[in-house]
A and B are shown apart, each in its own frame.
Chain A
Amino acid sequence: MIDIIIGMLGSTVRLSIPLIFTALAGLFSERSGIFDIGLEGKMLASAFAAAVVAYYTGSPWLGLLGGIGISIVFSIVHGYASITARGNQIVSGVALNFVAAGLTVVLGNAWFRQGGRTPQLENTARFTGIQLPGADAARDMGFLGKFYSDVISGNNILVYLAFLTVPIVWWVVYKTRFGLRLRAVGENPGAVDTAGISVTWLRYRAVIIAGFLCGFAGTYLSIAQSASFINNMSAGKGYIALAALIFAKWKPVPVMLACLLFGFLDALSNFMQGKSMPFIGEVPVQIFQAMPYILTCVLLAGFIGTARPPKAGGVPYTKER
């Protein structure tokens, strides 16, 4: 029983990491007033770039850099469309998801001829698990020991970075001047403009940070969790991250908790596959899969608290003349 619980908690952590990075990315973008449903595409594109760069260089760090780079390029395109060209942010996000889904497979197939897959990576080209000190000794020391050795220890560096990012984001958003302006520009860009601060530049910085964080999420998928890029490997995680962001009401610490909850649902659905419960019988996995979206809708309906999005979200800012 303890082993099952420990196993579940371990996979919860591993499954929630891409959600945490991506949802925090969305947090920056949406707090600045730019809706981002292109999170999925950025995650996918960066997963591909990370796998390709790691394959050719043999270095996971350069892979990470490649993942971040391509994700920021996508972000800048989204920024150009939604900030400079004052286009429709939703449409731009949908478009980038399409581009990423197509481009990754086309390039992957042309370069490696494995139906869009990238070649299997050596362990040295990946982010692999890190044993924390004392993990082996702790394994025999009851539940807490097992928890330390199998849930806290043994993860790759990106897992620890994800949990480190949460307080950093909290600090940036709530304790710095940039964070204050970021929150303000998402609520009332006119006021920020009046104060002599560039709405455009502020929003560009926000979407670039979003790209930066999505790069970590994609890299995690292809060269930390697995050892190659696979077609459509983000598989809707970008949208689950979006749901988590809304569920957490655009706040960093709740974002982490929501991602852990959604990661847990994912782990649970994997675990429950083909198992039957006493009295109920087999629970369809689709219920767990739909749960994040259902919970988010219930929250949006105001039945369990309210989720109020940043007021200026989705509206391009036009300076008055």
Chain B
Amino acid sequence: MSAANTPLPGWVTFFLMPLLNLVTALLISGLVILMIGQNPLEAFGILINGALGSGMGIGFTLFYATNFIFTGLSVAMAYHAGLFNIGSEGQAYVGGLGCALVALALDNYVPWYVTMPFAVLGAALFGAAWAFIPAWLQAKRGSHIVITTIMFNFIGAALMVYLLVHVLKPAGAMSPETRGFLPGGQLPSLNWLMAMFGSRLGPAPLNVSFIIALVMCVGVWFLIWRTKFGYSVRALGLSPSAATYAGIPYARTVILTMLLSGGLAGMMALNVVMGSADRLQVEFVAGAGFVGIAVSLMGRNHPLGIVLAAILFGILYQGGAQVSFMMPQITRDMIVMIQGLVILFAGALEFLYRPALVRVFGRRQMARA
């Protein structure tokens, strides 16, 4: 039996392999830290402590994780149908427009809990709309979805800059952003959640979006593994030709899946636009769409895995910020590099250690069988 097909115990595939990949990425990051004359152990100590050592740290970590849960779910949703959505970044960006318009329209009149459902809807609709054209092009014209979604990231960025500079910026303001939302357009923080664990959130912007994200995880799990539509999505992902032959409508399933994927990405905007910045700003997505690719892959496209992977990236973000604060030699850009390495080893090189693991665990299992 070749190494590629030897079955491995579940915990090796779902736990040990991602862990080894992660450790490799961190080792290389450690080497880079050594290269610039700093102590990597000290840096990682600060990173972990900064991310998990206080209520505020945890609050920031979960705040970042919320972004990555949404984008991770977005990538995973499409991935189950065999579609590679590189456009979560752009869909989240345009989704921000949807929720900002709702907030701007309602914040003066109603409390946040009335605004919120409309904002969720607005964000999801705008995100889905931005995924629609690439989806339609894939389903009806055969254009490669990877390429069209990349293009749409840039078209979306240009559109949003135009709108923020020329349309949404209040008269007389200098920076390209909307006016600040009133409390009716702000999502409340989860102080009470932290208080339950006897801790304080402080200024960390962890907000209701985190709960919406968890609800979406359950929703995606149910949709993909417990409904007829989810079955057709997975069938399409396994073999488009077999699925079509079995009577699953290709174009409709592709478009619907991408709309859901774009909608999930769009909802990411709630967390930043209404949960922390309280206004729509240029480039607020800040790469979360691309991190979603890594989150989805590390989480093996399963909502539970996605939550764990998203928290991991949240730790990197918050801890990294703390490192750059305590060790000025290490700039925030170190996080970007570590992210890149994690994406490389956990995503592109995800089976790097498989042959070695097969040698250790594969045989044992065969002997048992």
Chain A interface residues (CB < 8 Å from chain B): 35, 37, 77, 80-82, 85-92, 94-103, 105-107, 109-111, 116, 236, 239, 242-243, 246, 284, 286-287, 289-290, 293-294, 296-297, 300-302, 309, 314, 321
Q: Does B236 contact A (CB under 8 A)?
A: no
Chain B interface residues (CB < 8 Å from chain A): 2, 32, 35-37, 84, 86, 133, 137, 141-144, 146-148, 150-152, 154-155, 158-159, 161-162, 166, 287, 290, 293-294, 297, 329-331, 333-341, 343-344, 347-352
Checking A95, A111, A297 against B340 with a beta-carbon cut-off of 8 angstroms, the contacting residue is: A95
- B334/A289 in contact, CB under 8 A: no
- B143/A90 in contact, CB under 8 A: no
Q: Inside 8 A of B330's CB, which chain A residues have their CB?
A: 106
Q: Inside 8 A of B36's CB, which chain A residues have their CB?
A: 106-107, 110-111
With A85-B352, A94-B290 already in contact, the answer to whether A102 and B137 are too (CB < 8 A) is no
In the bound assembly, the distance between CA atoms of A37 and B331 in angstroms comes to 26
Q: Inside 8 A of B333's CB, which chain A residues have their CB?
A: 101-102, 105-106, 109, 116
- Among A102, A109, A243, A286, chain B packs the most CB atoms within 10 A around the CB of A102
- B344/A77 in contact, CB under 8 A: yes
With A103-B337, A106-B337, A110-B36 already in contact, the answer to whether A300 and B331 are too (CB < 8 A) is no
- B141/A88 in contact, CB under 8 A: no
Secondary structure of the B contact surface, majority rule = helix
With A106-B330, A110-B329 already in contact, the answer to whether A87 and B348 are too (CB < 8 A) is yes
In the bound assembly, the distance between CA atoms of A101 and B338 in angstroms comes to 11
Question: Closest chain A residue to B151 by CB distance?
Answer: A293
In the bound assembly, the distance between CA atoms of A77 and B24 in angstroms comes to 15
- B340/A97 in contact, CB under 8 A: yes
- Top 6 nearest A-B pairs (CB, nearest first) are A102-B337, A98-B340, A102-B336, A99-B340, A92-B348, A110-B36
State the Cβ distance, B162 to closest chain A Cβ, in Å. Answer: 4
- A92/B331 in contact, CB under 8 A: no
- B331/A297 in contact, CB under 8 A: no
Question: Closest chain B residue to A41 by CB distance?
Answer: B340
In the bound assembly, the distance between CA atoms of A13 and B71 in angstroms comes to 39
With A106-B36, A110-B329 already in contact, the answer to whether A91 and B339 are too (CB < 8 A) is no
Q: Inside 8 A of B37's CB, which chain A residues have their CB?
A: 110
State the Cβ distance, A145 to closest chain B Cβ, in Å. Answer: 38
Question: Closest chain B residue to A303 by CB distance?
Answer: B141
In the bound assembly, the distance between CA atoms of A286 and B160 in angstroms comes to 9
In the bound assembly, the distance between CA atoms of A99 and B294 in angstroms comes to 13
* A-B contacts, CB under 8 A, total: 156
In the bound assembly, the distance between CA atoms of A111 and B36 in angstroms comes to 8
In the bound assembly, the distance between CA atoms of A58 and B338 in angstroms comes to 32
State the Cβ distance, B282 to closest chain A Cβ, in Å. Answer: 12
State the Cβ distance, B6 to closest chain A Cβ, in Å. Answer: 14
With A85-B352, A106-B334, A290-B159 already in contact, the answer to whether A95 and B144 are too (CB < 8 A) is no
- Among B144, B155, B344, B351, chain A packs the most CB atoms within 10 A around the CB of B344
Checking A37, A82, A107, A300 against B141 with a beta-carbon cut-off of 8 angstroms, the contacting residue is: A300
- B336/A286 in contact, CB under 8 A: no
- A88/B158 in contact, CB under 8 A: no
In the bound assembly, the distance between CA atoms of A242 and B337 in angstroms comes to 23
With A91-B297, A116-B333, A293-B151 already in contact, the answer to whether A102 and B339 are too (CB < 8 A) is yes
Known pairs A81-B348, A105-B333, A287-B162 / 14 extra A-B pairs, C-beta < 8 Å: A87-B349, A87-B350, A88-B348, A91-B293, A91-B348, A92-B344, A109-B333, A110-B37, A236-B154, A296-B147, A296-B151, A300-B137, A300-B141, A321-B2
- A95/B158 in contact, CB under 8 A: no
Q: Inside 8 A of A287's CB, which chain B residues have their CB?
A: 158, 162
In the bound assembly, the distance between CA atoms of A289 and B165 in angstroms comes to 15
- B340/A81 in contact, CB under 8 A: no
- Among A92, A101, A106, A236, chain B packs the most CB atoms within 10 A around the CB of A106
With A81-B344, A95-B343 already in contact, the answer to whether A103 and B144 are too (CB < 8 A) is no
- B348/A85 in contact, CB under 8 A: yes
- A239/B348 in contact, CB under 8 A: no
In the bound assembly, the distance between CA atoms of A189 and B19 in angstroms comes to 34
Q: Inside 8 A of B293's CB, which chain A residues have their CB?
A: 90-91, 94
State the Cβ distance, B358 to closest chain A Cβ, in Å. Answer: 15
In the bound assembly, the distance between CA atoms of A301 and B137 in angstroms comes to 6
- Among A80, A90, A91, A116, chain B packs the most CB atoms within 10 A around the CB of A91
With A106-B32, A106-B330 already in contact, the answer to whether A297 and B137 are too (CB < 8 A) is yes
A-B contact pairs, 11 of them (CB 8 A): A80-B349, A85-B349, A90-B84, A94-B86, A101-B340, A246-B147, A286-B158, A286-B161, A296-B147, A297-B155, A314-B146
- A37/B159 in contact, CB under 8 A: no
- A102/B147 in contact, CB under 8 A: no
